[in-house]
Structure 1
Amino acid sequence: MSNQELAANVTVRRAARATARRLAVDFGSELKTQVETALDARDSDRRSEQYAVDPISLGSLIVSAATLAWTVYKDRRDQSQMPTPEVTSQRIRIELPTSDSIPSAQRDRVIRVVVEEIVTALDRE
């Protein structure tokens, strides 16, 4: 694993866990376990399939959104064009699959919190 891949993994894990902690009050403490399960699946190369197979899992949504948010920020930062959180959130909303089992307001809130946590994590680097 390259240094860049390692950094991405650490940032995504940190942001996904922080998002789960913040949202557990509203969505239940099992959200933390769902995120850990999704992170384990991501690490075993089942990342995109996990969300498609289990659309109900907010944990999978959090990990998928964190991975995409990190990629958006990293790509833009390499081009010296730091995207705004709003632009990043919109891109995630467009690129991640939707599901009838996750209400759009809940999905949007998860995405917003994930982007906030990615920005916070990248500011610490």
Structure 2
Amino acid sequence: MTTAIELGTRAAAQRLADPAHPGLPDDVEAALYARGAAARPDQYTDLESLGTLIVSIGTLAWTVYNDLKSRGAGAPPREVTVRHVRDRLVRDDALPPALGPAERDRIVVVTVDEVLDAAARQEEPGQPE
């Protein structure tokens, strides 16, 4: 079964790929493949590890979303999930210094959106898993 994290991070990589990061979808595939095979870095020191960062953001988004959902009455608004993910990444100093605030926010928002969209599609009746 393909998870919402896998589907979402692949979709985020497609959306975030640009002339500066044309290989981002491949980087995300490599990070997904390696996920769990080795310890994750505590900090992503350069933009070369952007694929790994996106997978980590997707995983964190899924964890935060489910945690907030289990505490409240239903699914939290996306903005709340985005804020929690962004705050945690900043607090843990887990973002590359080369990322400016606007690019950092764009990566977080796109990745959270895609993971939650993938989860919603999987929850729809009759959707393949």
TM normalised by structure 2 equals 0.77
Question: 2:13–2:51: 8 Å Cα contact kept in structure 1?
Answer: yes
Equivalent residue for 1:52?
Answer: 43
Alpha-carbon offset, residue 22 of structure 1: 0.9
Stretches of structure 1 that go unaligned for 5 or more consecutive residues are 1-5
**1:117 and 2:114 are equivalent in the alignment:** yes
Q: 1:73 aligns with which of 53, 65, 69?
A: 65
Higher helix share: 1
Equivalent residue for 1:98?
Answer: 95
Paired with 2:116 and 2:54, the residues of 1 have a C-alpha distance of 15
Q: What is the percentage of aligned positions where both structures have the same residue? A: 38
Equivalent residue for 1:108?
Answer: 105
**1:33 and 2:26 are equivalent in the alignment:** yes
Q: What SS does the corresponding residue of 2:18 show, helix, strand or coil?
A: helix
Letter in 2 for 1:99: P
Question: 2:10–2:25: 8 Å Cα contact kept in structure 1?
Answer: yes
Stretches of structure 2 that go unaligned for 5 or more consecutive residues are 124-129
Equivalent residue for 1:3?
Answer: none
Equivalent residues, number: 116
Alpha-carbon offset, residue 110 of structure 1: 0.7
Paired with 2:10 and 2:19, the residues of 1 have a C-alpha distance of 15
TM normalised by structure 1 equals 0.79
Paired with 1:122 and 1:102, the residues of 2 have a C-alpha distance of 27
Alpha-carbon offset, residue 23 of structure 1: 1.1
Paired with 1:37 and 1:107, the residues of 2 have a C-alpha distance of 21
Paired with 1:117 and 1:81, the residues of 2 have a C-alpha distance of 19
Letter in 2 for 1:28: H
**1:83 and 2:76 are equivalent in the alignment:** yes
Range that drifts further, 58-67 or 71-80: 71-80
Equivalent residue for 1:64?
Answer: 56
Q: Which has the larger radius of gyration?
A: 2
